[in-house]
Amino acid sequence: MIPSTIEVLQKLFKRDLQKLKQEIELYRDEANLWKVDKSILNSGGNLCLHLIGNLNAFIGAAIGNTGYVRQRDREFSDKDVPRSELVKMIDETILIVEQSLHQLTAEEWKGEFPLKVFAEKTSLEYMLMHLSTHLAYHLGQLNYHRRLLDE
């Protein structure tokens, strides 16, 4: 059986969120999660908060009706959130993404994303693929942040 696109996306979100958790746990010095230097403007901790907020807003709230209210500014302004709290938030996000995507019907999958995020409305499929690549993009940044600034 060939897996459907939604099954592939479910696996990719889970894989990359587990990798996000691993990256956070790999920082040798927890304080370095919040370090910035020269042209590196976003800390690893803030990238993590941003990804959690993004997925909880656009998958959890918009698709799963979780009631999550995003505070995007805080994703970049909050500092020194304990690593254990970040890991807990990632674990919760994995469950929310899984539950929200699992409940999608075939009609919803083929329909429009419920929110206007870009200049024009997009399909749900397009938005989920965008969110997956957004996660992967910032995950790569976080990996480099850790390897460059976690001395």
Q: Which residue has the tokens 């993404």?
A: 97
**Joined tokens for residue 123:** 């399909």
CATH pick for 5-149 out of 3.30.1360.180, 2.60.120.200, 1.10.10.10, 1.20.120.450: 1.20.120.450
Per the document, the length of the chain is 151
Delimit the domains of the chain by residue range: 5-149
Write the pLDDT tens digit of every residue in 30-40.
999 999 999 99
**79-93 tens-digit pLDDT:** 999 999 999 999 999
Distance between CA atoms of residues 69 and 18, nearest Å: 23
Whether the CB-CB separation of 69 and 61 falls below 8 Å is answered with: yes
Reference 13, options 124, 97, 138; nearest CA is: 97
Q: What is the structure's pLDDT at 1?
A: 47
Count Cα neighbours of 59 within 13 Å in the Cβ-side half-sphere. 34
Cβ burial, residue 117 (10 Å; 0-12/13-18/19+):
middle
pLDDT in tens, the chain (151 residues): 456 888 999 999 999 999 999 999 999 999 999 999 999 999 999 999 999 999 999 999 999 999 999 999 999 999 999 999 999 999 999 999 999 999 998 889 889 999 999 999 999 999 999 999 999 999 999 999 999 999 8
Tell me how far apart the alpha carbons of residues 26 and 10 are, in angstroms, rounded to a whole number.
24
